[in-house]
Every structure is written in structure tokens, then in C-alpha cells.
Amino acid sequence: MIQAKMAGRGRRRALLGAAMAALLAGAAQAQTLHAVDIPAGPLDAALLALGQQTGEQLFFRRDVVAGRQAPALRGRYTPEAALAQLLGDGELAARRTGPGVLVVQRRGEAPAEPGAEASRPFGHGEGDADALGWDSRSAGMLATAPPAPTAPTTVEELQVTGSHIRGGRSPSPLIVATRADLERTGQTTIAQALRSLPQNFGGGAAEGTALTGADRSGKNGAFSTGINLRGLGSGATLVLVNGRRIAGSGAFGDFADVSSIPTAAVERVEVLLDGASALYGSDAVGGVVNIILRRRFDGGELRLLGGAATRGEPAEGQASIVAGRRWAGGGALFAYELQRRDDLPAADRPFSASADLRRFGGADQRQANSFPGNILRTDPATGITGPGWAIPAGQDGVGLSAADFQAGTANRGEPRQGSDLLPRQTLNAVYLALDQDLGERVGLTADARYSVRRFKTQALPGTASFTVNRNNPYFVSPTGAASHAIGYSFVGDLPNPVISGAVDTLALTGGADVRLPAGWRADLHAAYAQEIDEARTTGIVNSALLSEALGTAADRPQTAFSTARDGFFNPFVGTAGANNPAVLAFVGSGFTTSRSRSAVTSGGLQLDGPLWALPGGPLKVALGAQARRETLERSGHNYANSVAPTPTTPVDVARTVLAGFVEARAPLVGPANRRPGLESLELSGSVRMERYSDVGTTTNPRLGLIWEVLPGLALRATYGRSFRAPALREVRDPISYSPSLLPFGGGRVLSLILNGGNPDLAPETAESWTATLDLAPPSWPVSLHATLFDVRFDDRIERPVQQSFTTALSDPTLAPFVDRIAPGLDEADLARINALINSPLYSSVNGVFPGEQYGAIVDNRYVNTGGLHVRGLDLSANGRFDVGRDTLSLAASGTYMLDHEQQVTPAAPVVEQRGVVGFPVRFRGRATADWTRGDVTVGAALNHVAGYRDGLGARIGDQTTVDLQLRWEPASGVLKDTAASLTVRNLFDADPPFYDNPSGLAYDPANADPVGRYVVLQLSRRW
């Protein structure tokens, strides 16, 4: 039985509880000595260096440190002692405002007002959504950031993700992860690190779900990786890079691919866990992911990484280099990264090697399309098609008679034989960033990013259901009929089809930041982003050529094939290799190609600054206007069901979006008028209007509250409306019809699937609110955060049948989209189905069947369906304890889903889908511990996914895995600025919990990793 190779569920929960409880231990902090090496020079540079070397967050104002010099400092110091040496006995002093947070200011100066200028030692953001991350101390995990401390101020006026106002604070829950945090997760790419977030549901677009059927959308043919916050869909999470939109990915261009971003270029990632369309527009329903790339860097960095699963495949390697140069008022940075990861064959894991899952306690999920094949029969009353007679094995298909067939027998075919679970991927990515000040008031920035990601994988083996008649010299009927339908797999005749291709990504941005009088700033920007996806599938069985080789269709003059010369295809063989190689080469010569180009051109102007004074501080506002142009082009060729390659229906669609927004932040209570129980009180509000050239106008408001009850105790709350505009192809995709065999009643029903867009689609809308409690008293070494969230999603754009093909004919909630027919008994049904299959919109890529064999017509077109209600609780805690000369860092984060209620249509009942396969689980969390002594850090992580159930109610077990990491970073000597780390993910090589997956896998690819124990070694060197 597949199961996690650890103790029972109760013991695992106890471990998690113990990890969380450890964070509540309030030990008095001893002082840790850090290796410090800072050359003499400007004070601001010395403070930034000290923050990097000690892990402390240092905050200071530009005007306070401007023109000041710091002495050289080398040795081992506590952060306070090092600051005392750098600042001397002059007018500057440092004070600690919380664990890991120090503020430098003039002696006797009152705490700086929130929203003044500030700086942090880990870089600063650019763009209209860059953020200041307030908590990057979490060990080996991504931790929810607390609200901004009252005192820190900034050198560069920053925008917190969730606000357009520089220096403002966001009332929304925010996750901040620095580059060091991402590396401590043990994941090797930014895409993997983001998908490991407890708030992310793995069932969206990803390379591991595209090949295994867990991503039911069928849009991710280039094996891209999207983010699916709260399980609302990859298209409902807005992804920004340096605060700018990136081009859409996939066949519909409706989600953002994060796998093309070079990990070495990432400075930090900020994840806003709240609806934010009032700030950023469409798609920001589940939240916003803002990936901030490095900009200010002086020197060089080389990084090498190698990893492999202990069971063999897949292995991977990475190499990257970063070089930067700073000069007076500006600088440049260049980064290059190469990534390569091998494929993972399904045969290499016991839970994917065979679709016969009876050995795990499940069902035999093998199919009737097998080798040898099956003669099929259809029940005219129910439309169920299933095996009637098995073609005998171990014979060459010649001279068979009716006596060789036994009614009621069946062969079973492996649907995934020879295929991969993960594709082979190679990424080459470059990044260039420039910035330059023009005097004291104008700063210019520009950056360019280009990547090429290539992929190759073995697809599922070719299968077909086809008709053979007496024109075929090998034809034999067990009943004396003139023709039969046969379910067949070509695994004994042809190699698996191969999918290969490339994804080219280009992003260009430029901006100007202008300091205006009276504390106002203007930000102008222009951006262009493009993604080109090209894919080719070769080795496909061409149904038109197959019918010719079977003799069902006469020899065609358009082909060079001749049955008289080359022979017939024999579907009655029972031995691999028995068919003529020339016939097989002809039949298996099919292919498809596709090319998609998605592009976004945008520009905007924003103004922000103080308007007038309020008792708690200045009322600040931001207002702006933006415009963008979205385009999507798609073309290709199909040689899977025709005698010559034919162009696919081209797609060339575009829209223009105009937007205006305004935001205000009103601090009602601040340092000047605070009182017991009311340290600070701040209200914020924003509204954004967007006009789409194709789907109309939408207006979305948002309100926020931050109430600091006591120092270190704060409450935050938000309410807002969000929306997602229909993707371009969801509106304008061409209509098509294609056949498919859908499960029903122990067999399969041949169904005609209607696909296509819907020009009458309206935008999806959502209402969301959050309530957050932050507990981080300055005297505590820990901080605790809890967020309750609630999202009501209406008019969702879906293909309801696509999400549940395996139960489409049996699920009563899908009845409005299914029309059962009996053309073998009803002439009207026969006339109707014949009209559809004879239409020019009919696609025979899955075969051609007589009308009498169909049992259903299924509408799979895009519609505004019912709604979705998601409610849950995010919990996180982190702390750092000094134990003598050592440091212990503890952290934990998790999401508990209270409700995931789905209503397929307005008339359908509301169904609770929490903890059901294909939807988010009840709980997902991660707890970590890091112990640092001198140059060495040892870290451990406990990952947990709660058990859930399949569509029939069968339980799928809990998943608990353990990761270990050893890091070495010498602070002195010849190896100073060198670092090495050894990471072991899934230390005990736990298999995924068993799931009786109808696709033939014994695990759930949306919630489990098939790789197993994985060892990664990373070396880096800075200069």
C-alpha cells in the first residue's frame, strides 16, 4: 500500500503542534556575536552591509545619514555593539523596535511617522506594486509579514504591495520571502518555491499536472507553471514582475508562467493574499504575486547547483552568474541562468507503472483500447460501449475464425505505458537592469528580461476506436457481422508520440520617477511583454490514413500509400511487431503543430503625496491612469485526421483596456495623539474603474483598516470587490465538435463534445474580506499572525464538464450540459447527430464513428456558471532565539480551509468541495527549525497535507514529509564570501498516499510530488 513511511496521523499532528508551541516559548534573548567586515566609507553603505552580515533589518532616513562617514569595522560583534562603533558618540543612535528590527535616528527624536521615507538592507522595489517586506527572518519558509513597525522610515520611498501610496502600509495579509528564504525552502526554482506555499493549490497549470490529467483545462501544452492562490484558478491570481504585468501563457494566454524567471535574478517575492482589483485591475481575485528582481548590486556572484532523486531520474543542474556595477547616481546589473532537468518516466515509480491499481486496494483502471485490441459492442438503449470479445494474444492475426473469440472476454490496455510524469526542460534566461539619477529630482530605470525554455516528453501511447469491415483481408467477425468497432492501442506497433517545443519570453520596461514639490512624486512607466509558445507532437496515429490502411476508405490519390503494394493494417494481431513496418510508418506519420503569441503593451502615470495634515499624520493620496493593449495570436497545422497537413483555425484577437484609480490613506491616530488602547488607527480606501473594449466597464472599490491596540498588537481588516475579465479566447474561440468516450455505468459512452468560446460572457466578480491579528510585542522573540479570509466568487467562467469529464454523464449537477440520445432507436436523434458530425465544425482527430454509436451530446463551451464560496484561516508564527553563541530560528505557516462551496449553475445545489480531490485540502502547512553556530546552519522542515477523499468518498491519506538542509557560509579566511548547502527533500522517501485515480495513476498529482527523496548540492561565490 502506498503511504507515507512515518507514524500515524495523530503523531504527525502532534509534531506539528509541538513545532507551533515551541514558538511561544518566551525566553530572554541573549546577544549573538556576528562576523562583521565593513570597509570605511559612506554611512548608508555601511548600514546596508551590516544588515546583510547580521540578518537584522536596519531602517533609517536618507536625510539623517546623508554625507556621514563610517569607520572600518572588522571582528565579531552584536548588532547593537556594531552600530555603536559605526555611529560613534555623535547625534545618531540606534534603538530596537522588535526582534530583528533596528532603527537609526537622531538622539531624542520621536519615532518617525509611518509613511515617511525608509530603507531596508535587502534591496528596494521598483514599479507600481513593489513592496517593503517587513519580516524576512523566517527560517526555511515563507512567512506572513506583520504590519510595518511604527518607527522605521525609508531611504527610497517604497510602495507596499497592496498600496499605491509610497511609504504606506497595506491592511491586507502579505507574505514576504527574500532570496535567502527561497533558498531555505529547499526548492531549486522560483516556480517550485511559490507552488510550495500553503495558500497555493497545486491543481492549476503546472508541468506535473499537464501530463497527468490533474489540470483539466487542457490549455497548458507548453508545460508552464502558474500560481493558483486559494484554489480559485491560475487565471484568478495576478502575477507581476517588478510591479508590471507579464504576458499570458498557455493556449488561451490566461495565466502567468513563473517558470521562465531566473532564480538568480530574484531579490524577493511578495504575495498579497487578498482581492486587489481596486488597485491592480483584472485577475487580482485570489491575490497578487509580485516578483521583484535584483537591481542594486556591486560585484559578482557565481552559483552552481546539482540535484538528483535517489531512485534515479530526474536529475537536474543549474549554473548562474550575476554581475553588477554601481557608480555615482546609478548602476547596472546583468544576470544569466541555465537550468536543465531530466524527464521522469512513469515506469520509474511503482505508483505510476501500471493502471491496474488492485495491488493498492483500488480498481483496475486499464482501458478497453488495448494491445491486443477488443471488438466493441454498443448497447443501443444505454449507449454504453464496451469490450464484447477480446482479440486473442500470441497470434499473428492471420486465419482467425469466429471460434477463436469468446464473448464477454476483454483485454486491458495500459493508458500510460511509455509516457512521462514530468517533461525534460531546459531554461536559458538573461536579465539586464539599469538605473540612473538625473540630478536630485529625476530617476530613470530600465530593465530587460529574455528567456528560452525548451521541453520534450513522451506522450501517452496512441490509441483509437475505429471501424473495420470486410474490405480488410484480415477481417473476422464472431457474429457474422459485416463490420465491427475495435478498441486498440498502438503500443505493440508504434513508439509513443513525442511532444517538444519552446517558450520564448521577452519583457521590457522603462520608467521615470520625478520628485515634485511638497513631498509629491510622479511615476511614469511603459512596458512590453511577450510570450511565444511553440509545440509539436510527432508520431500521432492519423485517423484518415488509418482508415485507408484498414481498407475502410479506398486508396486516395493524395497519398503515396497503396494497400495493393504496401499491404493492409491488421487490427487482429496479438503479437507486437506483426504488422508491416511500411504500413505502420504510414499510419503513425501524423503530427500537430501550434504557435501562440501573447503580448501586453502598457503605460501609466501615477501621482502620490500628502494632501493635508490629520491628527495622526498626513492624509496621503495616490491617483493615476493606465492603458494597456492585450493581443493573442494562435496558429498551427493538423495532420492527425486528414490526408495532408491542414491549417488549424487561426486565432487573432485583441482588446484595449483603459483604467483610472484613486487611493487615500488617512492616519486618524498616531504618535502625536495616541492613547491607551489606541496606539494608531488608519483608514484607507481605493477605487478603480476599467473599461474593456470588448466586455464593457467595471468599477471596484476597496476599504482597509489598521488598528494598533498596543505596541506589537494590531488588527487589520479589508473589504473589496474584484473581478476577472474573460480571456480573449474564452470570448472568441471557434466552435468545434469532437467525439470522446466518457465513463458511465461500468462502460463508456461515445459522446459528441461541443467546444468553443462565448461572445456573451460577462466578467467574473468577487467580494472578499480579510481580518488579521498580528501579535509581535517588542520584548518577545516571536511574532504570531492569524488571518480569516472569505471570498464569494460569482458568474465564474468555466467549462463545467471539462472539470469533471470522468463523471460528466453521472453527475446530476452537470445534467444541464448533457443531452442523452439514442440514435440507434430514435430517428430524430440520428438525424440530429448526423447533422453535427457532417458539419465542417466536426474534428475527427479522435476518430470517425457512425451516428448510431453515439449516446450523448455534451456542451463543453464556456459559460458564466454559478458561484464559489471560499473561507479559511491562515496561521503563521516565527521567532529567533539566541542560545549562548548559537541562534535558533523557528517558524510555522499553514492554511486551514473552512469552506470551498461550489455551485455549478444558479439552479444547482451548493456542494461542499473542501477536502475533495481536485479541490483544496482542509489543511496544508510547513514548520521549520534552523540552528546556527558560527558559519554552519542546520535546518529541518516538516511538511504536512491533511487527508481528503475522492469523488466517491474513499479516503486519501495524510502526507507528511521531512526536509533537511546543511548550510556553510564562512565569515573569514580564504573562503569568505563562499557558501555551500546540501538539501535533502523528503528525507524518508515517502510515497504519495494512494488515490484510486481514474487516469491510471495511484496518486493525486495536484497534491503530491512523484519524485521522492531528492538531494541538492549548491555552491556559490561572491566577489
> Which is nearest to 913 in space by CA: 945, 864, 953?
953
Average pLDDT in the 320-343 region? Answer: 95
Among 17-21, 87-91, 281-285, 814-818, the minimum mean pLDDT is found in 17-21
**Residues 524, 529, 531, CA angle at the centre, nearest 5°?**
175
Burial profile 119-150: b = 16 or more Cβ within 10 angstroms, e = fewer:
bbbbbbbbbbbbbbbbbbbbbbbbbbbbbbbb
598 and 722 share one domain: yes
Q: Residue 97 corresponds to which cell in the numbers above?
A: 523596535
pLDDT digits (tens, 9 = 90+) for 487-496: 999 999 999 9
pLDDT at 260 over 50: yes
pLDDT digits (tens, 9 = 90+) for 350-399: 999 999 999 999 999 999 999 999 999 888 877 788 899 999 999 999 99
Indicate whether 169 belongs to any domain. Answer: no
Q: Tell me which residue has cell 491543481.
A: 203
304 and 374 share one domain: no
Backbone angle region of 243, left / alpha / beta, with phi > 0 → left and psi within -120 to 50 → alpha:
left
Indicate whether 162 belongs to any domain. Answer: no
Identify which has the larger pLDDT, 767 or 733: 767
Average pLDDT in the 78-97 region? Answer: 80
Most confident of 302-306, 741-745, 900-904: 302-306
pLDDT at 9 over 60: no
pLDDT digits (tens, 9 = 90+) for 917-952: 989 999 999 999 999 999 999 999 999 999 999 988
C-alpha separations of 76 from 37, 54, 887, 941 in Å: 9, 10, 15, 29
CA dihedral for 540, 541, 542, 543, sign (positive or negative)? negative
pLDDT at 133 over 50: no
685 and 825 share one domain: no
Q: Which domain holds residue 89?
A: 34-113
Backbone angle region of 955, left / alpha / beta, with phi > 0 → left and psi within -120 to 50 → alpha:
beta
Question: Residue ranges of the alpha helices (H) in 727-855?
Answer: 728-732, 827-837
Number of neighbouring beta carbons within 10 Å of residue 489 = 27
Return the amino acid letter for 893: S
Indicate whether 26 belongs to any domain. Answer: no
CA dihedral for 470, 472, 473, 477, sign (positive or negative)? negative
Residue 72 sits in a domain whose CATH number is 3.55.50.30
491 and 366 share one domain: yes
> H or E segment at 108?
none
773 and 671 share one domain: yes
In the DSSP assignment, the letter for residue 404 is G
**DSSP 3-state assignment of 235?**
helix
pLDDT for position 992: 96
C-alpha separations of 450 from 242, 262, 590, 744 in Å: 15, 10, 33, 48
How many Å is the maximal CA-CA distance in the chain? 106
Indicate whether 82 belongs to any domain. Answer: yes
- End-of-domain residue from the set 570, 588, 606: 588
Q: Residue 581 corresponds to which cell in the numbers above?
A: 513496418
361 and 436 share one domain: no
CB-neighbour burial class of residue 111 (10 A; exposed 0-12, middle 13-18, buried 19+): middle
> Which is nearest to 938 in space by CA: 925, 927, 928?
928
Indicate whether 707 belongs to any domain. Answer: yes
Contact 765, 795 (CB under 8 A): yes
Identify which has the larger pLDDT, 502 or 121: 502
pLDDT at 564 over 50: yes
pLDDT at 654 over 90: yes
C-alpha separations of 453 from 327, 384, 532, 718, 749 in Å: 34, 43, 10, 39, 39
Backbone angle region of 1012, left / alpha / beta, with phi > 0 → left and psi within -120 to 50 → alpha:
left
pLDDT digits (tens, 9 = 90+) for 778-804: 888 899 999 999 999 998 888 888 777
pLDDT for position 11: 43
Most confident of 154-158, 234-238, 868-872: 868-872
pLDDT band at 32 (very low <50, low <70, confident <90, very high): low
pLDDT at 706 over 90: yes
pTM: 0.83
**DSSP 3-state assignment of 857?**
strand
pLDDT for position 692: 92
pLDDT for position 1022: 92
pLDDT at 203 over 50: yes
**DSSP 3-state assignment of 44?**
helix
Contact 356, 411 (CB under 8 A): no
Average pLDDT in the 664-684 region? Answer: 93
Contact 788, 828 (CB under 8 A): no
HSE-CB for 477 with a 13 A CA cutoff: 14
In the DSSP assignment, the letter for residue 367 is B
- Residue count of the chain: 1023
Indicate whether 118 belongs to any domain. Answer: no
pLDDT for position 627: 97
**Residues 591, 592, 593, CA angle at the centre, nearest 5°?**
130
Average pLDDT in the 657-662 region? Answer: 96
pLDDT band at 97 (very low <50, low <70, confident <90, very high): low
Beta bridge partners of 370: 488
444 and 484 share one domain: no
**How much is the mean pLDDT over the chain?**
86
Q: Tell me which residue has cell 499553514.
A: 894
pLDDT at 811 over 60: yes
Contact 549, 466 (CB under 8 A): no
pLDDT for position 630: 95
What is the phi/psi pair of residue 444, to 5°?
-110, 145
- End-of-domain residue from the set 65, 87, 113: 113
pLDDT at 158 over 50: no
What's the distance, Cα to Cα, between the start and end of the chain in Å?
51
pLDDT band at 152 (very low <50, low <70, confident <90, very high): very low
Indicate whether 842 belongs to any domain. Answer: yes
Number of neighbouring beta carbons within 10 Å of residue 479 = 12
pLDDT for position 109: 57
> Which is nearest to 911 in space by CA: 812, 995, 817, 816?
812
CB-neighbour burial class of residue 964 (10 A; exposed 0-12, middle 13-18, buried 19+): middle
770 and 696 share one domain: yes
**DSSP 3-state assignment of 574?**
coil
pLDDT for position 62: 67
Distance CA 436, CA 443 (A): 6
pLDDT for position 457: 97
Return the amino acid letter for 46: A
Among 232-236, 396-400, 708-712, 811-815, the minimum mean pLDDT is found in 811-815
772 and 919 share one domain: yes
> Which is nearest to 782 in space by CA: 892, 679, 874, 707?
892
- End-of-domain residue from the set 588, 611, 645: 588
pLDDT band at 67 (very low <50, low <70, confident <90, very high): confident
106 and 217 share one domain: no
990 and 884 share one domain: yes
Among 26-35, 592-601, 947-956, the minimum mean pLDDT is found in 26-35
pLDDT for position 168: 65
Indicate whether 167 belongs to any domain. Answer: no
Q: Inter-axis angle of helices 43-54 and 79-87, to 10 degrees?
A: 170
Q: Tell me which residue has cell 449537477.
A: 813
Count of structural domains, the chain: 4
pLDDT for position 167: 74
Contact 585, 572 (CB under 8 A): no
pLDDT band at 696 (very low <50, low <70, confident <90, very high): confident
Residues 6+ apart with CB under 8 A from 671: 110, 111, 113, 150, 680
Backbone angle region of 859, left / alpha / beta, with phi > 0 → left and psi within -120 to 50 → alpha:
beta
100 and 191 share one domain: no
pLDDT at 4 over 70: no
Distance CA 133, CA 145 (A): 7
C-alpha separations of 587 from 373, 490, 640 in Å: 17, 10, 10
Strand order in the sheet with 287-293: 143-145, 174-178, 266-272, 287-293, 237-241, 244-245
pLDDT digits (tens, 9 = 90+) for 503-517: 999 999 999 999 999
> H or E segment at 897?
strand 886-903
3-state secondary structure 330-364: EEEEEEEEEEEECCEEHHHCCCCCCCEHHHHCCCE
Return the amino acid letter for 430: V
Average pLDDT in the 988-996 region? Answer: 96
In the DSSP assignment, the letter for residue 715 is E
Q: Tell me which residue has cell 500628502.
A: 610
Distance CA 671, CA 615 (A): 9
